[in-house]
Structure 1
Amino acid sequence: MRLKDVAGQLGLAPSTVSRALNHPEMVAAETRIRVLEAVQKARYQPDRIARSLRIRQTSTIGLIVSDILNPFHAELARTVEQAARQRGYTVIFGNSNEEEEQERDYLETFVSSRVSGIILAPSGNSSETLRRMVDQGIVVVQVDRLTPGLEADAVLLDNSRGASLAVTHLIDLGHRRIGMIAGPQHLTTGKERLEGYKSTLLAAGLPYNPDLVYVGNFRESGGYEGTRALLSLPDPPTAILTANSEMAAGAVRALREANLVIGKDISLVTFDDTRWAQYMLPPLTVVAQPVEEIGRTAVDVLFRRLERRTSRSTIYTLQPYLIERASTGRPPR
């Protein structure tokens, strides 16, 4: 239901309905009551995105991460905030919690708050809302994940190479049955890391066995359940790669419950170099992401777009690196 539809039902001009909703003091009380009753009955929602385009922007940036409990997103938020403050901008923060409705609500709230631009790690479910915003000239920069078909700048990690670094390291140690706890396959991070795992095995002359792959949820629970599933196989893996640090935490829990010594009885490597990964016993071998560089680059890209210094959307791909620690070793005999 659009504003002009409400106006047509009441026999009023759209401008009158708009004034009744936005400047009620400018219309007669009787008219205002009629409009409010019609709006409630029709469940009319104002188009905040279109309306905001007629109003000047503010010195604020909207930032949406998908899971604030994930140390990667917490570090990303800190970096974006610092980089924005150096330019005299403040950051309005939102956590989508991987929920489409929550992400969409934050997007519309940011737009109605007249933010200058939006940086987000998309949940993968709000593509239509994002396309509409980009089409109407709102500056959007994606980080960590890519929304397929969206003409917007993005700052990403070479996820396939990251998985390849981990799997190559395990193969070099002598592992041949390498399990993986992958991320959700509707997200580019989950899909690309699994593709890198698979292609590296095949390039090394090792078979890809889908039984050794558990698709998790990027949460601790997914790592725990996935590790238990892999350990229950008749011939379990001698090494496991988890697609993020949250699932690595769940994997550690499951391995300890199974009385397996990490680094000796089984090897474990994960994406993300969190603080706890460095200090746990044993310290975890990780595929590290340049989180600060990702955050700073995203802010730089957003301001170049605001200053009209770029035209076509660009994908910036940064490189991961492997940090070897004591959680990986040769397979047990």
Structure 2
Amino acid sequence: MKNVTIKEVAAHAGMSITTVSRALNNNYPVSAEAREKIERAVAELGYRPNLVARSLKSNNTGIIGLVVADISNRFFMKAARKLEDVVSAQGYQIIYASSDGNVEKEHQILSMFEERCVDALVIASSDSSSSHLNNIAGNGTPVIAIDRKVPGLQADIVVEDNRDSSYQLVEALIQKGHTEIAVNNVLMNISSGKERLEGVRMAMQAYGLPLREEWVSRGGFTSDDARQWVKQIFAGNGLKPTAVFCANNVMTEGTLLALEELNLRIPEDVSVVSFGELPMHQLIQPQIESVVQDPFRIGQLAGELVLMRLKGEKEDFCHYELPLKLKHGNSIRSLS
């Protein structure tokens, strides 16, 4: 016989998952009318609470939900590792999930986390709307946003200074004589992608240089997206960029693959800079000029915020925007 889920009970009763959970576990007030509907749905569907639901008698499952675009990305792996170190020291465990940058999939994951009644949520959201996350936070689950800002989100935020760091990378190119610069973007529906492109534009404008829109990608998610785009802009016999700005380590990986396939050398034929280092970057020659991200610091702060929220120690939301450092390499050819 199929196990009935709390999500199915909520749908049958016409209630939210959170309201059903509260009614079943008597850990928050629920109106008599809502309770009656929920009890009727439970009886009609034959719902039997699982172990996680029973643990809610103490209003604590000991589980933290983590949602990122791609947990296999080195940046997110490191952030997750440090987050786990911080919260596990206090007896909490983490459930990991990847959204693949897909908003619909992200919503499905969040519904699953709600069903399992996670104690807190840490998320690098791909959604440009804050309504879904604000609903979760409004129902009493602490939400900590990492890596990306979500407009209107009422939650703690831990991000990096994307604009200034991108400005520094492009300025390094300009100071060595580069004026024809291409931009290999990440997805533009997320704040980090938008802010990194804004930093590029600010640097070009500061030096009175135009940014050719045909050399600005619409944004990609995978290494192959980056690879295909670079091959496209270097095709034909017209004017070519002398340098490529890569908006994250995945875009850098795709760019390097494309340049290898095109038999273009770095930096002799094309200069490359990267927002974020590649895995095993010490073995890559030439060393790529890059912004050094600090995912461990992001994971540390996110973990500390989770514990602080669960203890109810602070009312005001925290907003951290971490400065980053530029690591010099030898991937920029001097044209001046």
Question: How do 1:244-323 residues align onto structure 2 when only pairs under 5 Å count?
Answer: 244-323=248-327
Question: Taking structure 1 as the reference length, what is the TM-score of the superposition?
Answer: 0.83
Structure 2 residue 222 is the aligned partner of structure 1 residue 219: yes
Q: Give structure 2 stretches of 5+ with no counterpart.
A: 1-10, 16-32, 48-54
Question: How do 1:35-54 residues align onto structure 2 when only pairs under 5 Å count?
Answer: 35-36=44-45
In structure 2, the residue matched to 1:106 is 109
Q: 1:262 is paired with a residue of what secondary structure?
A: coil
1:156-200 Cα shifts (integer Å, max 9, x gaps):
000001111110111122211111111222110110000000011
Distance in 1 between the 2:14 and 2:243 partners? Answer: 62
Contact 2:158–2:320 (CA under 8 A) maintained in structure 1: yes
Contact 2:181–2:211 (CA under 8 A) maintained in structure 1: no
Change (3 A) 1:126 1:93: farther
Q: Compare CA radii of gyration and give the structure with the larger one.
A: 1
Structure 2 residue 190 is the aligned partner of structure 1 residue 187: yes
In structure 2, the residue matched to 1:157 is 160
Q: Given residue 315 of structure 1, which amino acid in structure 2 is its aligned partner?
A: H
Question: How do 1:121-160 residues align onto structure 2 when only pairs under 5 Å count?
Answer: 121-124=124-127, 127-160=130-163
Q: Which moved more, 1:241-250 or 1:68-77?
A: 68-77
* Percent identity for Structure 1 against Structure 2: 30
Change (3 A) 1:230 1:297: same
In structure 2, the residue matched to 1:44 is none
Aligned counterpart in structure 2 of residue 88 of structure 1, from 54, 73, 91 = 91
Distance in 2 between the 1:118 and 1:62 partners? Answer: 5
Change (3 A) 1:124 1:17: closer
Change (3 A) 1:311 1:91: same
Q: Given residue 273 of structure 1, which amino acid in structure 2 is its aligned partner?
A: E
Q: Give structure 1 stretches of 5+ with no counterpart.
A: 6-12, 25-34, 40-51
Q: Given residue 95 of structure 1, which amino acid in structure 2 is its aligned partner?
A: S
Question: Taking structure 2 as the reference length, what is the TM-score of the superposition?
Answer: 0.82
Question: How do 1:166-177 residues align onto structure 2 when only pairs under 5 Å count?
Answer: 166-177=169-180
Structure 2 residue 82 is the aligned partner of structure 1 residue 79: yes
Contact 2:13–2:41 (CA under 8 A) maintained in structure 1: no
Quote the RMSD (CA, aligned, Å): 2.5
Distance in 2 between the 1:259 and 1:64 partners? Answer: 38
Q: Which moved more, 1:145-154 or 1:68-77?
A: 68-77
In structure 1, the residue matched to 2:25 is none
